[in-house]
Amino acid sequence: MEKREHWGSKIGFVMAAAGSAVGLGNIWKFPYTAGNNGGGAFVLIYLLFVIFIGFSVMLTEFAVGRRSQLSAVGAYKSVDRRWAFSGVLGVLSGFLIMGFYPVVGGWALAYVFKTLGGLLNDPAAIGDTFGGFITNPTIPLAWMVVYLLLNVVIVARGISKGIEMAGKILMPILFGILILIAVKGLTLPGSAAGLEFLFKPDFTVVTGGTVLAALGQAFFSLSLGMGCMITYGSYLNKKENLAQNAAIVTAMDTGVAILAGIAMFPAMFAFGMEPAAGPGLVFVVVPSLFAEMTGGFLFATLFFVALTVAALTSSVSLLEVVVAYLIDEKEFTRKKAVVAASSVMAVLCVLASISLGGLGPKLFGFGAFDVFDLLTDKIFLAIGGMLLCIFAGWRLKKEDLLDEITNGGTIKFAAFNVWYILVKFIIPITVAIVAFKGVQSGFDGGSGPIMVIGLVIIALFAAISKKL
Ligand code: PHE
């Protein structure tokens, strides 16, 4: 077997892992999910989940990945075949998230050209333009395909050359642009109400659904619960400080999400828009914001370039999970794995994209886009994270984990015991309760049956785990 490729440098790994974490989840999904779920209270719960669950799960993924030197499925399987299903669940999540992510990535790419082409000249039409664009049955498909091809090229070039380079160059650019936009938004009159919406919790609006949405958002945004950070960790060399890396990535990801919120909500309130505007939020707010400023189209263009870049560094990591599985477990060559995986994803994306115009198959009234999102964001990632914690806490040896996290006792991790108790007891119990309550309240909103289907899929996988 070939020697496993490793990250070329520490900064390369942090940038790639942060690149995976920071993406559409932070800039597109976080603001509209916060808006839909009432603002402040959601944000607070999300932050608590990030600190107490997200960081610990990320550290666990890094440790399991680096210990095994294998991608998600192999990492579980090499220890115990009965656990293989957890890894396979991650691969399935990879397929499903890549069944809608490139659709939105395609929108971001399209908006680079739309803003350049004069989208901002008619501010009153910006909302309708977005609605008309995403519900069109064919045009978004072309953008999706272009976006997906960019992923194929990056992942086909291999881990250190492709992903690392993309992360290194593009992440700092994104940071700068976001700060610029946030500052612009905050200077608008009436923007203070947006900050209040974002940071002042109103617990009367919290339901089981809100809490599950916050948990799902934490997992999605940090790229957890599907073996992505296991796979990235497997390329990490033995000298790196895992806890420190996990802390940096968690902090960067959360910082960008909050920054995106600060960029979005003050401007929305200043313009008198609805916080619960849904998935169109960034695509409508940002152009509207910049339409009223001289030279604003330049900022808007830059924003969509940054959004596309952020999306790319995330989706390559999703594709990488599936590709690494096909290489490690099914003995595909990298090229063949990339082509096979992305072809399936393209088909899923077509279904997701046309579902926004009301076309294609439906499940309990939900189109493909919503089904893929619901299954992964609300069920697979959180349960996947829970399974990983149970696996690490109850199946792996505590000494081995200590050894891995402290690099064989050469570095310190003072919070090891706290982390271990969280992983072994508190996280599994918390996720189980939140998922139960969330599914229960999903029956009020209609998404309950889909979440139950998700749970049944997991149970089926578990039953045939030894054959996977
Ligand atoms: N974290 C990415 C984002 O916020 C999405 C993602 C989820 C990537 C799961 C990898 C794994 O956009």
CA of 217 to the centre of ligand 1 (A): 10
Residues 6+ apart with CB under 8 A from 126: 119, 120, 284, 287, 288, 291
Helix, strand, coil distribution of the chain in percent, nearest 5: 80, 0, 20
Which tens digit of pLDDT belongs to each residue from 365-408? 999 999 999 999 999 999 999 999 999 999 999 999 999 999 99
Which tens digit of pLDDT belongs to each residue from 235-247? 888 999 999 999 9
Q: Both tokens of residue 444?
A: 């009020």
Q: CA-CA distances (angstroms) from residue 140 to 46, 103, 104, 263, 326?
A: 31, 7, 9, 26, 29
Is any ligand 1 atom within 6 A of the Cβ of residue 17? no
Q: Using the atom order of ligand 1, give the atom closest to the CA of residue 30.
A: 4
CA separation for the pair 237, 14 (Å, rounded): 12
Q: Find the radius of gyration of the CA atoms of the chain.
A: 21
Give residue 223's region: left, alpha or beta (phi > 0; psi -120 to 50). Answer: left
The list of the chain residues with pLDDT below 70 reads: 1-3, 159-168, 170
CA of 171 to the centre of ligand 1 (A): 15
What backbone torsions phi and psi does residue 366 show, to the nearest 5 degrees?
-100, 135
CA of 195 to the centre of ligand 1 (A): 26
Is any ligand 1 atom within 6 A of the Cβ of residue 313? no
Is any ligand 1 atom within 6 A of the Cβ of residue 220? yes
* The predicted structure's pLDDT at residue 1: 47
Is any ligand 1 atom within 6 A of the Cβ of residue 228? yes
Cβ atoms of 382 and 432 closer than 8 Å: no
| Closest C-alpha among 42, 44, 115, 169 to residue 302 | 115
Cβ atoms of 381 and 43 closer than 8 Å: no
Is any ligand 1 atom within 6 A of the Cβ of residue 315? no
* The predicted structure's pLDDT at residue 296: 82
CA separation for the pair 299, 305 (Å, rounded): 10
Residue reference for tokens 């990591």: 317
Which tens digit of pLDDT belongs to each residue from 128-185? 999 999 999 999 999 999 999 999 998 888 765 665 666 667 677 777 777 878 888 8
Give the pTM. 0.95
* The predicted structure's pLDDT at residue 157: 84
CA of 318 to the centre of ligand 1 (A): 7
CA of 214 to the centre of ligand 1 (A): 15
Is any ligand 1 atom within 6 A of the Cβ of residue 301? no
Give residue 359's region: left, alpha or beta (phi > 0; psi -120 to 50). Answer: beta
Is any ligand 1 atom within 6 A of the Cβ of residue 231? no
Pocket mutation for ligand 1, best pick of 318, 320, 325 (most atoms within 8 Å of C-beta): 318
Is any ligand 1 atom within 6 A of the Cβ of residue 155? no
CA of 261 to the centre of ligand 1 (A): 17
Cβ atoms of 109 and 146 closer than 8 Å: yes
Residue reference for tokens 């033995």: 238
Is any ligand 1 atom within 6 A of the Cβ of residue 25? yes
